[in-house]
């Protein structure tokens, strides 16, 4: 079980390309393939805010088709899925960039990308248990008591984190720092909350280093536990990074 887990991409295709090249993946076939049988894993939030969301979707869809990657959905993936379903969703918080890319496509291309993304999303588990339970990938993480379960509480947790229903002054939801309380034996690798450096707390790794906010795109190499990052080409937005104690 050799896997490279990649943090929130949010349409930053160039950073995905650079990071996978750095990790030794070869793009000759149009998708990143490792000569040493490694697989990629994605913690979700493939799209929104960044410049090339459609290209990221196409790449990850192709990887999954060829059984070369794992993917779990993030909250942005969930919203894009609901948009493609035809549900009324607010085209805000970055979704507007993905929708603009989508609308600029020819109708046939639109159908292709919509079907691909919906298939990708529908086939994805809420979280992925790997290496006989030693490794878990979940977009916003998961608490020990929820591992192995599938219900609406799990769905909320893995997509949005440990939210309480309370809101900050700016309207954003209060997220509890579940990682501080996590004492389980399985390693949990997740993203969702941008931090300036990969944050390891106990057996948990937050690998969302804010690629789309001018930070970097990071990955965790498992089972080696090596961290690789590439710098972002996006403007730096310091207020998007949360420094958690």
Binding site for Mn ion (CB under 5 A): 45, 74-75, 192
In angstroms, give the least distance from the CB of 75 to Mn ion. Answer: 5
- Cβ contacts of 121 within 8 Å, gap of 6 or more: 73, 77, 78, 80, 81
Q: Closest-CB residue for Mn ion? A: 192
| Look-up of token digits 């950073």 | 15
Residue 6, SS3 per DSSP: strand
In angstroms, give the least distance from the CB of 29 to Mn ion. Answer: 29
| Look-up of token digits 């913690």 | 43
In angstroms, give the least distance from the CB of 106 to Mn ion. Answer: 30
In angstroms, give the least distance from the CB of 28 to Mn ion. Answer: 31
Say which DSSP state 175 is in: E
Q: Cβ closer to Mn ion: 38 or 79?
A: 79
How far is Cα 47 from Cα 37, in angstroms, rounded to an integer?
A: 26
| Look-up of token digits 């490279």 | 4
Tokens in use for 51? 């410049």
List, in sequence order, every residue forming a beta bridge with 216; answer none if it has no partner.
Answer: 231
Q: Cβ closer to Mn ion: 33 or 218?
A: 218
In angstroms, give the least distance from the CB of 177 to Mn ion. Answer: 16
Q: Cβ closer to Mn ion: 74 or 141?
A: 74
Say which DSSP state 235 is in: P
Q: Within a 13 Å sphere around the CA of 186, how many CA atoms are in the beta-carbon half?
A: 22
């Amino acid at each position: 079980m050799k896997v490279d887990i990649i943090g929130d991409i949010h349409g930053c295709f160039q950073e995905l390309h650079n990071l996978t090249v750095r990790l030794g993946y070869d793009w000759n076939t149009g998708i990143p393939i490792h000569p040493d049988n490694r697989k990629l894993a994605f913690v979700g939030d493939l799209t929104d805010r960044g410049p090339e969301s459609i290209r990221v979707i196409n790449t990850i869809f192709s990887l999954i088709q060829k059984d070369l990657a794992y993917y779990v959905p993030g909250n942005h993936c969930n919203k894009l899925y609901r948009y493609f379903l035809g549900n009324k969703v607010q085209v805000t918080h970055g979704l507007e960039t993905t929708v603009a890319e989508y609308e600029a496509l020819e109708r046939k291309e639109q159908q292709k990308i919509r079907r691909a993304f919906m298939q990708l999303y529908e086939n994805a588990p809420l979280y992925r248990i790997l290496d006989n339970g030693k490794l878990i990938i979940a977009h916003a993480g998961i608490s020990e008591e929820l591992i192995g379960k599938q219900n609406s509480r799990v769905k909320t947790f893995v997509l949005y984190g440990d939210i309480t229903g309370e809101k900050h002054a700016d309207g954003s939801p209060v997220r509890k720092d579940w990682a501080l309380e996590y004492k389980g034996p399985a390693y949990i690798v997740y993203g969702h909350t941008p931090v300036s450096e990969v944050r390891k707390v106990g057996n948990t790794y937050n690998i969302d280093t804010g690629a789309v906010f001018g930070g970097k795109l990071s990955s965790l190499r498992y089972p080696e536990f090596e961290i690789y990052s590439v710098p972002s080409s996006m403007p730096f937005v310091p207020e998007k990074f949360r420094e958690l104690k």
